[in-house]
Amino acid sequence: MRPPTTKRLVIANNPDEAARVLQEMLADVQARGYSDDVLFAIRLSMDEALNNAVQHGNCGDPDKTVIVEYTISDDSFKASVTDEGCGFVPDRVPDPTCDENLDRPRGRGVMLMKAYMSEVSFNERGNCVTLVKHRQCKLPIRTKP
């Protein structure tokens, strides 16, 4: 068994830096031999978490930063994304699948993260999300046509 890969990155609050970190992270995940399905789940969820931190948490403020910490082992991927914003209450995000919210462009990110990751949690302040994907986790269950 190889030792885990662990990184802590403090990035500028901009989409280009978020994209760069995402590519670095995905290369580390791929180097561990994770399946394409797991790689897709991590890509989708981490892209959402990073963009939420830049756009919503830090309100696009270029003077703020985002902290990304992740550990990849042979069995699981764990990452946290922390912004400098005041946070939010995840339970108060409207359900995007309700009829009255179907046309609203917001609120799908948390739902997607929960659908694709093994575990999703937020700190008490609501400015840090922690995502875990177990290598053998089959979420979401895909059906073939």
Q: Is 52 exposed, middle or buried (0-12, 13-18, 19+ CB in 10 A)?
A: buried
Q: Is residue 144 part of a domain?
A: no
- Max distance between CA atoms of the chain, in angstroms, equals 50
Q: What's the predicted TM-score (pTM) here? A: 0.90
| Residue whose C-alpha is closest to residue 47's, from 29, 25, 77 | 25
Supply the angle between the helices 108-116 and 36-52 in degrees, to the nearest 10: 150
Q: Is residue 139 part of a domain?
A: no
* Per-residue pLDDT in tens (0 to 9) along the chain, 145 residues: 899 999 999 999 999 999 999 999 999 999 999 999 999 999 999 999 999 999 999 999 999 999 999 999 999 999 999 999 999 988 877 676 677 766 666 667 888 999 999 999 999 999 999 999 999 987 776 555 5
Q: Is residue 143 part of a domain?
A: no
Dihedral over Cα of 81, 84, 110, 104: its sign? negative
Please give the structure tokens belonging to residue 120.
Answer: 């999703």
Q: Is residue 54 part of a domain?
A: yes
Parent domain of 82:
5-134
CATH number at residue 94: 3.30.565.10
Residue 33 CA: distances (Å) to CA of 30, 39, 73, 131:
5, 9, 11, 19
Tally of domains within the chain? 1
Q: Which phi and psi angles does 12 have, rounded to 5°?
A: -65, 150
Q: Is residue 30 part of a domain?
A: yes
Q: Which phi and psi angles does 142 have, rounded to 5°?
A: -95, 140
Which pLDDT score, from 0 to 100, does residue 144 have?
Answer: 54
